[in-house]
Amino acid sequence: MTQPYFSVGEEVILKSKDNPHLNGEYIIEDLKSRGLHMNPFKNNDIINVTVSYGYKLAGIDPRDTSAGTGYFSQSALRKKHQPPEDNESFSEIINNIKENLVVIER
């Protein structure tokens, strides 16, 4: 299995097709690998992560999501690049983005 593209504590941008009302910037609170997991928000319920990893975002109530789990697929998230430092040149900025560019599984 591949490594997760995002990590716990990382700030990301949510761009969800199923939950567009939640789109915005969040911090990753938890992640789960592919498979079945107990849902900590609903008794006797299962979270089924079908593709790569599922990411729980801080500040989102699971009841507000279409699946009711509060976990989002990797494809619904975007990297949030930090603003460049004042003394950083344009080519350094582009090189930094290229170094951090990773193809996401679909």
**pLDDT-above-70 percentage for the chain:** 74
Asked whether residue 98 is assigned to any structural domain, the reply reads no
User: Is it the case that residue 26 has pLDDT exceeding 80?
Assistant: yes
Task: Give a yes or no: residue 16 inside a domain.
Answer: yes
- Assess if residue 90 is contained within a domain: no
Buried b (16+ CB within 10 A) or exposed e, 60-93: bebeebeeebbbbbbebbebeeeeeeeeeeeeee
Q: CA 40, CA 59: separation in Å to the nearest integer?
A: 15
Count of the separate structural domains present in the chain: 1
Length of the chain: 106
pLDDT at 47: 57
Domain region containing 48:
11-81
Could you tell me the pTM of the whole model? 0.66
